[in-house]
Structure 1
């Protein structure tokens, strides 16, 4: 079945052809987007939209938690941080506190930026080693 919306088709294709690292980057970017939308909704007293966007951000964080390889030490630390982010998102939602969203957005941006660097370093390693074969 062909999609009528070319942008939707592009988005679907970019997710299905992305590497696991790129998918993680997309998840971080989506989480940031939903946190920003929740903040805007909170400022505009749009309670239902705020709630929906916070829940979307929480679903992304939950997905990131589920995909962690717990055999790797850093995954245990990430799991604790993701759990904290989920807790704070719930708190922001219940208390209607946008300062919590600002805090959480900062954490997710740090994770995203670090992940971008990891992807960049991996690409450099792959290309550097690829030429020496």
Structure 2
């Protein structure tokens, strides 16, 4: 219990002190974490918790969608990606095909890695 409180406090402080780039990374990390939990729960037959984490993942993708600044071409491309993976999660809910979920997990993992690298490049350029 104490460890969980510490983790919640850490996450709260992390979000409150993060800049826009770090907030996006946090969303990608939470997306990846929720999807992995959903996969584990699905494999263990805990469909209700799996569904909860799938809906949480959809909420995160929706948040990423609505925060895009559409003045940039990259935002239009990200919009299409997020929309596609939202539909893939809907497909998983209906078909219960683990390969669909794995596809979305691979996307989330790639975004975490890419965004971390981008933030590192920005930070090293500002020093």
TM range (shorter): over 0.9
- Alignment coverage as a number of residue pairs: 123
Higher helix residue share: 2
Aligned residue in 2 for 1:17: 17
- What's the offset of the Cα at 1:95? 1.1
Tell me the equivalent position of 2:65.
65
Q: Secondary structure at the match of 1:114?
A: helix
Alignment RMSD (CA, Å):
1.0
Contact 1:41 1:49 in 2 (8 A): yes
Gaps of 5+ in 1: 128-133
- Point out 4+ residue stretches in structure 1 off by more than 6 angstroms: none
Distance in 1, matches of 2:36 and 2:93, equals: 13
- Report the Cα distance in structure 1 between the residues aligned to 2:124 and 2:99, rounded to whole angstroms: 38
Q: Which runs of 5+ in 2 are unaligned?
A: none
What does residue 92 of structure 1 align with?
92
Q: Which deviations, in whole Å up to 9, do the C-alpha atoms of 1:3-31 show, x marking residues without a partner?
A: xx343222211110011111111110100
CA shift in 2, pair 1:39/1:64, >3 Å: same
